[in-house]
Copies of this chain bind each other. A is one copy, B any other.
């Protein structure tokens, strides 16, 4: 019996490539299912079915359902955090004292692009929004594990760009920002409802620009 415990999540070095494939296929389908139905609403049978794979394989690779969800979130979340990290590095390298707009864009763009990279990218955005609305303790730990470090770096960068704003206010506003873009990205397709369709005039890039403008002004606001 293979020890398919929680530790089996970490890839063992010499694994053949074929099996890596199925592993990722399962993750992809789990991502879609969790995004659409939520953690409790999604079923392992459905996920395995979508992936054309026996259900027991989910357990073999990931352990429990909760472990599968975590793997799902950590995969793309890690990628996202890394992307943000690099973006900030490049920005600071190019411009030692960047504008607020540039900092915010460096933070927002990766997720924005992910949203429009395909169905799974969009699904991950929905997954994040769900996780944010989840009061359970474990969900909080997950988010912190993935995002806290990079968020704190961005807070520092914003503090440098806005010396007149105290740090705790910047932190608070950064929390505002996360809520804004997460729910907004997730809700994008439905904004028409509020605007009687007037939103159609904005393209996707326009919308990102509008978001940055809105958030930058909020960041700059005098206390």
Chain A positions within 8 Å of B, measured between CB atoms, are 35-41, 126, 129-130, 132-136, 140, 144, 148, 151-152, 155, 167-169, 171-184, 186-187, 190-191, 193-195, 198-199, 201-202, 207, 210-211, 213-223
Contacts and interface: CB of A to CB of B under 8 A. Distances in A.
Contacts of A222: 213
A204 to B, nearest CB: 13
B199 A35 contact: no
Contacts of A41: 38-40
Instruction: Decide if the interface of chain A is mainly helix, strand, loop or mixed.
Output: helix
Contact of A183 (B183, B214, B217, B223): B183
B40 A211 contact: no
Contact of A202 (B40, B172, B215): B172
A33 to B, nearest CB: 12
Report the 5 A-B pairs with minimum CB-CB distance, sorted nearest first. Answer: A179-B183, A217-B221, A40-B40, A168-B198, A171-B195
Given A40-B41, A132-B186, A176-B211, 6 more contacts: A133-B186, A168-B199, A172-B202, A173-B214, A176-B184, A214-B219
13 contacts: A36-B136, A38-B38, A38-B134, A130-B130, A133-B133, A151-B194, A155-B194, A168-B198, A175-B187, A175-B191, A178-B183, A210-B223, A217-B217
A50 to B, nearest CB: 17
Contacts of A167: 198
A59 to B, nearest CB: 21
Contact of A180 (B129, B130, B179, B201): B179
Nearest to A132: B183
Contacts of A214: 173, 176, 218-219, 221
A223 B213 contact: yes
Nearest to A193: B144
A129 B133 contact: yes
Contacts of A171: 191, 194-195, 198-199
